[in-house]
Amino acid sequence: MIKSVLTSFLLATSAVQASPALTERSLEATTNNDPFTVPSLDRNPRARSAAIDVKRKGWQYSNYPMGVAYYPTGTLANKTIAKDQESWLPPIMEIQGNINTEGPKALANINAKGGLNKLEDYANLYDGQWEKAFPGGPFPGMLTNFTDDRLFSMMRLSASPYRLKRVKTSDSLLFPVDDAAAITGLSLQQLQAQGRLFLEDFSEMKELDPTDKFGAGCQGYFYIHPKSGDFLPLAIRPLVKGRENSALVYTPKDEPTDWMLAKLIMNQNDGWHTTWAHITQSHSAAEAPYLAAIRTLSDNHPVLAIINRIEKTPWNIRPLLEAGVEGGAAPNAGPQYYAWTSLSGRAWANQVYSSGETANFQSNYYRTFLENQGLINSRDGPALKSFPFYEDASVVTEAIRDFMTAFVNSYYPNDRAVAQDSELQAWRSETGVAKVYDFPKSLTTRQTLIDILTHQTYLGAVVHGVMSTNGAIGDTTSLPFAPAGFRQPIPTKKGVKDIMSFMPTAEGAVWQVSTYAAANRAAWKNTNETISYMFADDTMLSRMNPSVRAAATKFQNSMNAFSTEVRARTFDKDGLNRGMPFMWNVLDPNWAPYWSVV
């Protein structure tokens, strides 16, 4: 499938014949030396308008099975996709080659050390292995501290905050926790009344089509401890379709093996969410407004120049992922290791987009989202003592906002200039045609434009960085703490003695690392593919004004400084870093890519 998709890109021919000269002009605009200009300052507005018309014919909308958002089609779109493949595909092939070489070695290492007989043995999956595909293995602490409840809970405040929310006093409690007071000092109702209770709900996953492996859709309570202020797990309820009324509730008071299994089942949900939601939360959500921008903004428009920079080779990703779905569903697909089918994964990813959860533009502005979830600036309860995702994401995102503020203000002296930019107004209108969910209904102020561009950039640099590339493989999909599926059915009663009978085999473990290593970009550390270099494009900047060039330098300097800060982090005397028994450094600006790579 992937071969046929890419072949179709490469064989695409020029179908737009109406104005060859204008088609050439629109394509050449990215390589000329003319300064970027807003429409009112263009010396040849008629030619500019005509070039946009040609682009609209060459960039059209088509439906696509993966990710809901429209996918581009047309002569110019096909040429761009084929050209992008030339730079996008070689790293993919190189990484896959490394995986093909290193996977069998990792399997041999496990077997040479006696196989997987206890959870601690999964360290042999990583130790001294994956030198190129995944050097260093999971984040420090993940392999040694996975029994610590704080690792489980603090993952929700770093690696996977997207389904976590504070329970409001008006919310109905989803299930009782009889020993809540014995665990926390407060009843479940008291925790709720004081705004100390949090929920993560993946219950819809119980409806997914299963493979020959097993999983559940979990609901989990977390809480802020009334004395220590620590963020801790309280209870987990795994839900299996048809067994909802007899679902077990696990707490830290249970036997260690039962409680560990419950945490693993919920982590399996987080890993699934990371895998499939990232497709629509970072890719589709950014592609939809980008395609609308391509169809309405001149190639000489500074806003399109910025979006072109941050949306690097985006159009090859969903075809690759769709090929993976179809390959996983094929009769000869081989062993299944996920709990649910790849077709279910696609359907679930499309559903969370169509519901607006991952697609909504304004309500997913990072501070708006976190406030709506009750995770920051909450009036209903105490603040989180430590929130590593917010702490790091805010540094990166606010630096992006500073750049975008300087950029927008340098081209638009006031709000009226934004409102009078005909191409910006056409873009905003086109987002309706493009079915961009929750895009601003008006674009008449500089602040609105700054917010749009900041969020568009955040989707690739932060959301994708946390949910894919170097993020997921090091935390939410690492073993033994986050299996893709279980070999035994979810228990109907407590008292599990042999947790290893549920866990992935050595072959399944190597498959899991191999699958997520394909997105890892360890070799890009300290290169110009990272966040620090987001705006360091000499060709683009040469056509920008001096204020933008200065802002780009300021951004890079601030990101270099933050990278130094991140790399200086250590564990304290209690073995914690920012309240976590693991080191979360996903958003190191000289390690995390600045764009949605894969």
Quick check: helix, strand or coil at residue 205?
helix
Based on the fold, state whether residues 272 and 251 are members of the same structural domain. no
| Euclidean distance between CA atoms 275 and 270, whole angstroms | 9
Q: Give the chain's radius of gyration (CA, Å).
A: 25
- The answer, as to whether pTM is greater than 0.85, is yes
Is 576 contained in some domain? no
Q: What mean pLDDT do residues 341-351 have?
A: 97
Comparing CA positions, the residue from 545, 297, 541, 550 lying closest to residue 443 is: 297
Contact 584, 159 (CB under 8 A): yes
Distance (Å, rounded) from C-alpha 439 to C-alpha 288? 10
Q: How far apart are the first and last CA of the chain?
A: 17
> Is residue 335 domain-resident?
yes
Give the pLDDT mean for 356-372.
98
Tens-digit pLDDT profile for residues 462-516: 999 999 988 899 999 999 999 999 999 999 999 999 999 999 999 999 999 999 9
Poorest-confidence range of 23-27, 104-108, 216-220, 544-548?
Answer: 23-27
How many Å apart are CA 427 and CA 424, to the nearest integer? 5
Number of domains present in the structure of the chain: 2
Same domain, 66 and 189: no
Based on the fold, state whether residues 279 and 226 are members of the same structural domain.
Answer: no
Q: What is the pLDDT of residue 285?
A: 98
8 A C-beta contact, residue 182 and residue 203: no
Given a cut of 60, whether residue 373 has pLDDT beyond it is yes
- 400 shares a domain with 483: yes
Mean pLDDT of 103-126: 97
Average pLDDT of the segment spanning 97-121: 97
**Confidence (pLDDT) at 271:** 96
Residue 92 maps to which CATH number?
Answer: 1.20.245.10
Q: What is the mean pLDDT of residues 157-177?
A: 97
pLDDT at 334: 85
Q: What pLDDT is stored for residue 5 in this prediction?
A: 32
**What pLDDT digit, counting tens, does each position of 565-593 carry?**
999 999 999 999 999 999 999 999 999 99
Residue in the block written with tokens 């709720």: 192
**3-state SS assignment for residue 233:** strand
Separation in Å, CA 370 to CA 152, 356, 448 = 20, 16, 19
Mean pLDDT calculated for residue range 161-176: 97
| Average pLDDT of span 68-81 | 96
Q: Per-residue pLDDT tens for 304-336?
A: 999 999 999 999 999 989 999 999 999 888 889
**Is residue 579 one of the residues assigned to a domain?**
no
Whether residues 377 and 351 share a domain: the answer is yes
Return the SS3 of 116: coil
Same domain? 165 vs 215: yes
**Residue 492 located in a structural domain:** no
Mark 509-518 as b/e (b = at least 16 C-beta within 10 Å).
bbbbbbbbbb
User: Residue type at 233?
Assistant: P
Percentage of the chain lying above the pLDDT 90 cut: 90
Query: pLDDT band at residue 177, thresholds of 50, 70 and 90?
Result: very high
Segment 173-194 mean pLDDT: 98
pLDDT at 20: 37
Same domain, 204 and 288: no
**Residue 374 tokens, joined:** 């009750």
526 forms beta bridges with none
**pLDDT band, very low/low/confident/very high, at 25 (cuts 50, 70, 90):** very low
Q: What's the whole-number mean pLDDT along residues 289-308? A: 98
Report the amino acid identity of residue 420: Q
Q: Using 50, 70 and 90 to split pLDDT, how confident is the model at 81?
A: very high
Residues 175 and 125 in one domain: no
* Within a domain: 150: no
Residue 89: pLDDT over 90: no
Q: Is 496 inside a domain boundary?
A: no
**What CATH number is associated with residue 170?**
3.10.450.60
For residues 346 and 450, membership in a common domain is answered with yes
Nearest in space to 222 (alpha carbons), one of 160, 167, 146: 167
- Is the domain of 366 the same as that of 280? yes
Share of the chain above pLDDT 70, in %: 95
**SS3 assignment, position 155:** helix
Residue 3 has pLDDT above 80, yes or no: no
- C-alpha closest to that of 487 among 105, 210, 204, 125: 210
SS3 string, 249-271, reads CECCCCCHHHHHHHHHHHHHHHH
Domain span at residue 389 reads 2-145+259-487+503-567
Closest CA to 502 of 257, 279, 335: 257
DSSP letters spanning 386-400: --HHHHHHHHHHHHH
Same domain? For 185 and 209 the reply is yes
Given its phi and psi angles, is residue 103 left (phi above 0), alpha (psi -120 to 50 degrees) or beta?
Answer: alpha
Measured at the alpha carbon of residue 321, what is the angle toward residues 350 and 241, in degrees to the nearest 5? 45
| Burial class of residue 212 in the structure, from the number of CB atoms within 10 Å of its CB (0-12 exposed, 13-18 middle, 19+ buried) | exposed
Q: Could you tell me how many residues make up the chain?
A: 598
Kindly report the number of other CB atoms within 10 A of residue 576's CB atom. 19
Domain assignment present for 573: no
Among 208, 240, 258, the domain-final residue is: 258
412 in the same domain as 306: yes
Q: Which burial class, exposed, middle or buried, applies to 434 when counting CB atoms under 10 A from its CB (0-12, 13-18, 19+)?
A: buried
CB proximity list for 200: less than 8 A, separation 6 or greater: 156, 163, 164, 165, 218, 219, 220, 222, 266, 270
Residue 585 covered by a domain: no
- Secondary element (H or E) of residue 20: helix 20-28
